[in-house]
């Protein structure tokens, strides 16, 4: 029975030394890494002074993700962490600009839509070649999109409005749609919108079919430096001496380790620190920080099949929204409705209110509450996510006072999702962000009737709501005022009438990067992505 003495040494070391803290958030889909995105309001602190180690970097940009870098090398089906690498290897027809809130030219230089929003014509950029050497033509672009639609994996649903694609000449790509949709926004999606040479796609990561500024140098799954990228000399945008020609991804699970590596100049960019380290980073020499509102919000989805509407409304009132945001210390802002600011459909002035008296009154109506029957609720959330844990702690504590016991279970994302698909909990906690900069994704995925549950984890089935959701893409394409009204109406129905969910806050991305990195702009439409081509080192 001596083995426990070793354990004692371990615990002492644990206590007195300083291990770190994993801010792991689920890898796939929505509970995607917590992360951070940044963009417009970026409050950037520069504490100049490049560290010697950073100078020795020889223009390699080192990104320190906390999870695997690549889970799927196919640009058609990729739908996870690899967005950071893929967005630098592959390009789409357009790219969303978070400042102007519009799609901007990328592989397409200009585009037009018919008045009814059903016919779209994109003019392709001249002189673009893929990393395979093949030139970009409308025919190749057509093949790529058709392949993505055919494989129907990941976010391929974004192309759902497309009826036919044609390539009338080598630099013109036309789309006929089944119903009106904002195709320029669709084409800017972080997933499934890439234009690629299908012949270059390899699941082994030994080659790629992209046209972006970087190409795969080496990929070693499971290694600390999992992936390195190198400049593609034939890139249509050309190269300047101050740009990074090499990029490395150094997987660093522990946030404290990432912070130390950043200080020593061994990494250039840490996508997420905890708020306390972020505060420390703001006053540290050799490090700069950027804080930007994201399109990622936290949701509590209430089981509409099991819980009465009054109970769901009570739950909405039992969340200490202001307290939660205060305890997040800058890592989030109070939400107003389902749609984050910066997206069409955002409804200001709809901030939720913490009111335990109201919560108790609602519970009493159903025979629960202090003088009623004890109510036991099951809740699942992401294991290792400190912010979700904080929410759960506050909610559990508040509900205990009104005779409601919350059985909270932290789970790995895949297990949590599997259980959710079987309707196995009362409250499901997760993050959501859109695949392209449009609010449609929240409604289409989470609140539309599903025969087999995927992301409708509140199990809401409401024909009126379904009808309104179905009309959103067309309205967005042809009449934005009406689209905005439809989004507001939907949020009223889902949050106020159905009380199918609660939205406590929208995450604020908090990045830390080496002081020698210039020109970094966080784009919340592409969570965690650094467009390496756009940053420089003097």
Residue numbers at the binding site for another protein (CB under 8 A): 1, 3-5, 7-8, 10-12, 14-16, 18-23, 254-256, 259, 274, 276-277, 279-280, 320, 323-324, 326-327, 329, 383-384, 386, 389-390, 392-394, 396-398, 400, 408-410
| Comparison of 79 and 321: residue with beta carbon closer to another protein | 321
CB of 397 to another protein, least distance (A): 4
Using DSSP bridges, classify how beta strands 501-502 and 287-302 pair: parallel, antiparallel or unpaired: antiparallel
| Comparison of 119 and 253: residue with beta carbon closer to another protein | 253
CB of 282 to another protein, least distance (A): 12
Q: Among residues 334, 294, 288, 335, which one has the least CA distance to residue 38?
A: 294
CB of 257 to another protein, least distance (A): 11
Q: Among residues 534, 537, 536, which one has the least CA distance to residue 213?
A: 534
CB of 82 to another protein, least distance (A): 25
Structural contact between residues 105 and 184, judged by C-beta atoms closer than 8 angstroms: no
| Comparison of 21 and 471: residue with beta carbon closer to another protein | 21
CB of 271 to another protein, least distance (A): 15
| Comparison of 390 and 488: residue with beta carbon closer to another protein | 390
| Comparison of 17 and 100: residue with beta carbon closer to another protein | 17
Structural contact between residues 106 and 163, judged by C-beta atoms closer than 8 angstroms: no
Q: Which residues are registered as beta bridge partners of 216?
A: 229
CB of 400 to another protein, least distance (A): 7
Structural contact between residues 119 and 164, judged by C-beta atoms closer than 8 angstroms: no
CB of 288 to another protein, least distance (A): 19
CA 226 to chain centre: 21
| Comparison of 266 and 435: residue with beta carbon closer to another protein | 266
Task: Strands of 423-503 (E only): list them.
Answer: 427-432, 501-502
Structural contact between residues 338 and 462, judged by C-beta atoms closer than 8 angstroms: no
Q: Which residues are registered as beta bridge partners of 300?
A: 429, 502
CB of 28 to another protein, least distance (A): 20
3-state DSSP call for residue 385? coil
| Comparison of 14 and 166: residue with beta carbon closer to another protein | 14
| Comparison of 23 and 228: residue with beta carbon closer to another protein | 23
CA separation for the pair 369, 363 (Å, rounded): 5
CB of 320 to another protein, least distance (A): 6
**E strand or H helix that includes residue 121:** strand 119-124
CB of 51 to another protein, least distance (A): 18
CB atoms within 10 A of CB 334: 16
| Comparison of 226 and 386: residue with beta carbon closer to another protein | 386
Q: Among residues 171, 101, 99, 86, which one has the least CA distance to residue 137?
A: 171
CA separation for the pair 511, 508 (Å, rounded): 10
CB contact set of 288 (below 8 Å; sequence gap of 6+): 44, 45, 46, 47, 512, 513, 514, 515, 517
| Comparison of 5 and 100: residue with beta carbon closer to another protein | 5
Structural contact between residues 44 and 281, judged by C-beta atoms closer than 8 angstroms: no
Q: Among residues 416, 403, 323, which one has the least CA distance to residue 363?
A: 403
CB of 3 to another protein, least distance (A): 6
Structural contact between residues 304 and 68, judged by C-beta atoms closer than 8 angstroms: no
Q: Residue written as tokens 């689209």?
A: 483
CB of 311 to another protein, least distance (A): 21
Structural contact between residues 76 and 148, judged by C-beta atoms closer than 8 angstroms: yes
Which two tokens mark 387? 């912010």
CB of 65 to another protein, least distance (A): 16
Which two tokens mark 451? 């025969």
Task: Strands of 315-461 (E only): list them.
Answer: 332-334, 375-382, 404-411, 427-432
| Comparison of 168 and 283: residue with beta carbon closer to another protein | 283
CB of 35 to another protein, least distance (A): 15
DSSP collapsed to 3 states, 140-197: HHHHHHHHHHHHCCCCHHHHCCEEEEEEEECCEEEEEECCCCCHHHHCCCCCCCEECC
Residue 136 DSSP code: P
Q: Residue written as tokens 């081509």?
A: 533
| Comparison of 259 and 428: residue with beta carbon closer to another protein | 259
| Comparison of 19 and 56: residue with beta carbon closer to another protein | 19
Dihedral angle of Cα 382, 388, 394, 395, to the nearest 10 degrees: -60
């Amino acid at each position: 029975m001596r083995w426990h003495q070793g354990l004692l040494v371990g615990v002492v070391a644990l206590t007195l030394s300083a291990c770190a803290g994993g801010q792991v958030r689920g890898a796939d889909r929505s509970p995607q890494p917590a992360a951070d995105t940044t963009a417009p309001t970026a409050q950037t602190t520069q504490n100049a002074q490049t560290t010697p180690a950073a100078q020795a970097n020889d223009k390699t940009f080192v990104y320190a993700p906390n999870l695997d870098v690549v889970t799927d090398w196919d640009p058609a089906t990729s739908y996870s962490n690899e967005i950071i690498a893929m967005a630098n290897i592959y390009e789409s027809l357009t790219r969303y600009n978070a400042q102007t809130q519009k799609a901007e030219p990328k592989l397409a230089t200009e585009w037009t839509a018919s008045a009814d929003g059903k016919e779209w014509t994109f003019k392709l950029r001249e002189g673009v070649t893929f990393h395979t050497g093949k030139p970009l033509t409308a025919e190749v672009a057509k093949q790529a999109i058709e392949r993505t639609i055919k494989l129907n994996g990941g976010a391929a649903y974004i192309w759902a409005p497309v009826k036919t694609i044609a390539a009338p000449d080598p630099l013109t790509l036309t789309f006929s749609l089944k119903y009106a949709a904002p195709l320029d926004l669709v084409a800017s999606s972080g997933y499934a919108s890439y234009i690629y040479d299908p012949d270059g796609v390899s699941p082994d990561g030994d080659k790629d079919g992209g046209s972006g500024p970087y190409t795969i140098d080496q990929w070693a799954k499971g290694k600390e430096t999992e992936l390195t990228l190198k400049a593609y000399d034939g890139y249509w945008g050309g190269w300047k001496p101050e740009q990074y020609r090499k990029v490395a991804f150094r997987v660093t699970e522990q946030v404290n380790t990432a912070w130390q590596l950043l200080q020593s100049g061994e990494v250039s960019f840490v996508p997420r620190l905890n708020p306390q380290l972020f505060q420390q980073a703001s006053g540290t020499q050799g490090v700069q920080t950027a804080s930007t509102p994201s399109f990622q919000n936290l949701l509590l989805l209430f089981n509409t099949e099991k819980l009465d509407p009054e109970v769901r409304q009570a739950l909405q009132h039992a969340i200490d929204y202001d307290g939660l945001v205060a305890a997040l210390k800058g890592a989030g802002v109070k939400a107003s409705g389902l749609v984050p600011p910066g997206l069409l459909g955002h409804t200001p002035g709809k901030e939720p209110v913490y009111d335990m008296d109201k919560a108790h009154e609602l519970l009493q109506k159903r025979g629960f509450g202090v003088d009623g029957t004890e109510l036991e609720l099951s809740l699942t959330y992401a294991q290792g996510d400190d912010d979700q844990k904080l929410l759960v702690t506050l909610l559990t504590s508040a509900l205990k006072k009104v005779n409601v016991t919350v059985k909270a279970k932290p789970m790995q994302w895949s297990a949590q999702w599997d259980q959710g698909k079987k309707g196995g909990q009362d409250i499901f906690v997760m993050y959501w962000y859109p695949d392209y900069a449009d609010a449609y994704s929240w409604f289409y995925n989470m609140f539309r009737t599903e025969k087999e549950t995927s992301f409708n984890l509140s199990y809401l089935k409401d024909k009126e709501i379904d009808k309104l959701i179905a009309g959103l893409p067309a309205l967005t394409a042809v009449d934005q005022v009406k689209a905005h009204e439809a989004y507001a109406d939907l949020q009223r129905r889902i949050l106020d009438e159905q009380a199918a969910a609660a939205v406590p806050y929208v995450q604020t991305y908090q990045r830390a990067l080496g002081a020698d990195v210039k020109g970094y702009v966080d784009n919340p439409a592409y969570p965690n992505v650094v467009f390496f081509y756009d940053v420089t080192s003097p």
